Structures are given as C-alpha cells and as structure tokens.
Amino acid sequence: SLVPAELDILLDLMTAKEPYVKGGVEVLEAGIPKPDSLTDPGTISALSTLNAVLAEMVPLYRSALALREIFEETCDTFYDRDQAIMHGRRARTPSEAAKASDVASEQRKHPMAIGRPFETTGPPIFIYHTVFSDFKALMEGPDAAPPQDVVTAFSLIQAAATVYPSEDDHLNAMRPFIEALLDRSFVRLPDSGQSFDPDGLILGRTTAGLVPLLVMEAENEIAPGGRDPDIQGAFSFRKLWVEEKSP
C-alpha cells in the first residue's frame, strides 16, 4: 500500500470519531509520498487527487483540535446528531445569544458551526448532499439565473441598502423581492410556546412535511440592540429544527 502507516491509523481514528491528536496535522500535511518507481499516469493522477483532499482536511482537523482546548464540550459537537440537538435545545434564545457581549460565551457552552469564532467552522456543506455541490456549479455557470431574477436580486440589494426609520419599514421593503425570487410567501411562526419568533419564515412542503427554506432575522441597522442579525438568524434556524414545539 502507498498509504503510510501513520496516515492509515489516523484515518481509522477519524472514521471511528476517536479524539483528535496533535500529531495528526503533520501526518495530513505530509500526505502520501510518490515513490520514485511509480510511473503509471493514472495512479499518479489518483495520488495527486488524494493528497489534495488530505490538504483540504488540514484546516478542519486543526479547528477540531482547537475545539478540545477552547470549548467546554468535545469536538463531537459538530458531528454527533444527539449532541447537536442537545446544544440547540439548551442554548439561550436567539435574541439573547446573538448579543455581541454574549456570542463568545454562548459559543463556548453551546457551539454551532457558523464560523464565529473561526474554530466553529464546520465541514463543507456539500459533503451532506449532492444538491449543494450542484447548486454551486450552477451558480458559477454562465446562465446562473434568469434575467428577471437578476433584476429582482438587484432591486433587493437596493432595498436592503436604503436607510429606513424603523425595522418594520426595512422588512416591508425587502419582503416582496425575496418572495418573488423564491416564488413563495412569508408566514409568521404560530405561537406554540417556542422560545423564539423570527422576523420572517418561508416553508416548503416535502414528503416529510413542512421544512424551513428561509429563516429571516433583521435589524434596521446592525448596532441597535447589540445583535448581529446574521448570527441571530443562524441560532433561530437551529431552534426551529430542534425545539419540540416548533411546527
């Protein structure tokens, strides 16, 4: 086998979700060396591809190591479904957790893979389903969107950039363009005792029932309330999935 013994052991540990080890970064960076006797073009190409994949794993592995030192829970938080649900349910309400003064401590206690701080960056989303890689390929294509959608998207950007006297005015100006782009209407979350109430919600019907396609949290400007609407939206999305009282 061309795979070094140290790399073989490390990959087995990662597959078994064993604790990450400090020497793992160096093993991944070393990759699979090319023997001088290897001349087959196909094998050389495959070896190059494998080493490229290993190189992409290095920053994720380094982040996982940092999680062990920074956060109160184990690095399995981002990979274990039960732990992720537990953290989502125990987390504070999105409006509280998203305050600039509280984000760091909340992410230490109940982390979510949103990249704030960088150590909470999760693996690429396309590893979970091919639809995400298909979407990326389509977006990079020459015919990424119909002309009318491009015009609507530009109108949305203009509406979002305008200064408004209140949050409601801001939301009311953006909603029509978002609804036009998604071909769906916003709904409000029914009051069923959940711990959050997003500013906007668009649902889609699947064979499994209704699922959230978009969860919107907005501030008229970022400063009021000391909350980052991007982070608050992520926390609201998690709550929507994990709380038993959510629709």
pLDDT tens track for 73-98: 444 555 567 778 888 888 999 988 88
d(CA 107, CA 98): 10
Residue 154 has pLDDT above 80, yes or no: yes
The residue-averaged pLDDT of 132-143 equals 80
The residue-averaged pLDDT of 41-69 equals 81
End-to-end CA distance of the chain: give it in Å, rounded: 52
pLDDT at 186: 92
Average the pLDDT over each of 35-39, 51-55, 143-147, 198-202 and give the range with the smallest value.
143-147
pLDDT at 13: 78
Average predicted confidence (pLDDT) for the chain: 82
8 A C-beta contact, residue 16 and residue 76: no
Does pTM top 0.75 for this prediction?
A: no
Tokens representing residue 173 in the block: 């100006």
pLDDT at 177: 95
The residue-averaged pLDDT of 23-42 equals 88
Residue 19 has pLDDT above 50, yes or no: yes
Q: Of the ranges 7-11, 126-130, 142-146, which is most confident?
A: 7-11
Q: Strand, helix or coil at 198?
A: coil
Banded pLDDT at 158 (limits 50, 70, 90): very high
Report phi then psi at 47, rounded to 5: -65, -40
pLDDT at 75: 47
d(CA 186, CA 215): 10
pLDDT at 71: 54
Residue with more model confidence, 73 or 59: 59
Residue with more model confidence, 104 or 155: 155
Q: Of the ranges 29-43, 55-69, 217-231, which is most confident?
A: 29-43
d(CA 192, CA 244): 10
pLDDT at 247: 59
Q: Are strands 209-216 and 200-206 parallel, antiparallel or unpaired?
A: antiparallel
pLDDT at 74: 45
Taking every pair of Cα atoms in the chain, the longest distance, rounded to a whole number of angstroms, is 71
